[in-house]
Structure 1
Amino acid sequence: MSAERLQDGECDKDELLERAMEEYGQAVLYMAYSYVKDYGLAEDIAQEAFVKFYGKVDSFRGESSLKTWLLRITINQCKDHLKRWDTRKILLTNKVTEILHERGDPESKAIEGEKRSELHLKLLKLPVKYREVLFLYYYQELKVNEMADVLGLNPSTAKTRLKTGRERLYRIYGEGGRQDG
């Protein structure tokens, strides 16, 4: 799928949006979730990313793949969302609720544990700069240069973050899930 087909008149914006949603919808949703850690909010951000994609698809220059461009839009939407004061206030409230929930009864802990995979939980414990490169590399199967393009980084920085992220994730597993912060 490419914007060239749009420019050549082979498909219209609506068709391109539909294809992008089919091909990259899960990737966009997972990327948003990796930032905000709330599925409902991630769905909203993914929707906003596709709206922005639709509005700006005519300006796509083809310097990267459509997937890379769409993931960059998603990351920017997430960062914009996380910068807002009301979001930080909600995240703090959610963290307090999470701490109180962790102290809940063992049965609810067991049910919650079944809902999320161990790797996913441990990945979410990492700082965003490591979480995002691991997500893009392993879940989206992007090469280091593509990751660097999506994140607006130098390829060597992306490679270093990937290595450090792997090491930190390994340490989390090695310590039985504890992280020193």
Structure 2
Amino acid sequence: MDHEYLKNMTDGLDRNALLEDLMLTYGKDVWNYAYFLTRRKDLAEDIAQDVFVKAYNSLYSFRGDSPMKAWLLTITRHATLDYLKSSWVRKVAFLTPWQQQERSVPSAETEWFDSMEKREIWDSVLSLPRKLREALLLYAHHHLSIKEIAELMNLNESTVKSRLFRARAAMNRQISREQRADGRNEP
């Protein structure tokens, strides 16, 4: 979904149908990005709703300078940072323990071993500092280019490249430490 798509739809389709299409197409990406920035499901839900309300209100002002996904992720980033900066969140987050990600117990041992590596990787991603985690998530999970990430985060491309390098290095160190602790000698 891009600028041309929106332009063609504005003639005969109401905003509610367009919003529904946006939510179906990009809802998971917006929620995942908000979750990886906040590490809390409840905040990710609230932020995702706010993002689509903001997108709905400014839908026809979208110029198409960047892909629709990058535009929505930019709104998500700003909404998340605004939410995290508020004094109410700082006070409540300090008093409220972090909610652990719910994990279902696999029905078979094979499934458990297959998913173990993925959990280790995501746990490592979540343990990264926010700046590194955000750049890595946008690049590896959302498949944005370095240029798009730089625009979204309001950074130089070289800074994005540096953060990606540092994030990968930190991930490698973390996974190597875990493998040594578990007695595995994998590279």
Give the TM interval when normalised to the shorter protein.
0.7 to 0.9
1:110-169 deviation digits (Å, cap 9, x = unpaired) = 97xx99922222211111110011111111111211222222222221111111111111
Which residue of 2 is the match for residue 142 of structure 1?
144
- Amino acid corresponding to residue 2 of structure 1 in structure 2: D
Verify the 8 A CA contact 2:124 2:171 in the aligned structure 1.
Answer: yes
Displacement of 1:11 in angstroms is 3.6
Distance in 1 (CA, whole Å) between partners of 2:122 and 2:93 is 19
* 1:7 shift after superposition: 3.6
Q: Shift in Å at residue 72 of structure 1?
A: 0.2
CA distance in 1, matches of 2:86, 2:157: 29
Residue correspondence of structure 1 range 83-162 to structure 2 within 5 A: 83-95=85-97, 117-162=119-164
TM-score of the superposition, structure 2-length normalised?
A: 0.78
CA contact (8 A) 1:147 1:158 kept: yes
Please show how residues 1-40 of structure 1 align to structure 2 within 5 Å: 1-8=1-8, 9=11, 11-40=13-42
1:51-70 matched pairs, under 5 angstroms? 51-70=53-72
Contact 2:34 2:80 in 1 (8 A): yes
Aligned residues: 166
More deviation in 168-177 or 5-14? 5-14
Write out the 4+ residue segments of structure 1 that deviate beyond 3 Å after TM superposition: 3-8
Alpha-carbon distance, 1:10 to partner? 5.0
TM (normalized to structure 1)? 0.81
Is the Cα–Cα contact under 8 Å of residues 6 and 12 in structure 1 kept in the other structure?
A: no
**RMSD over equivalenced CA pairs, Å:** 2.7
Structure 1: tracts of 5 or more residues without a match: 102-109
- Residue of structure 2 equivalent to 1:106: none
Partner Cα separation in structure 2 for residue 87 and residue 122 of structure 1? 25
Aligned partner of residue 142 in structure 1, secondary structure? coil
Structure 2 residues not aligned, in runs of 5+: 106-114, 180-187
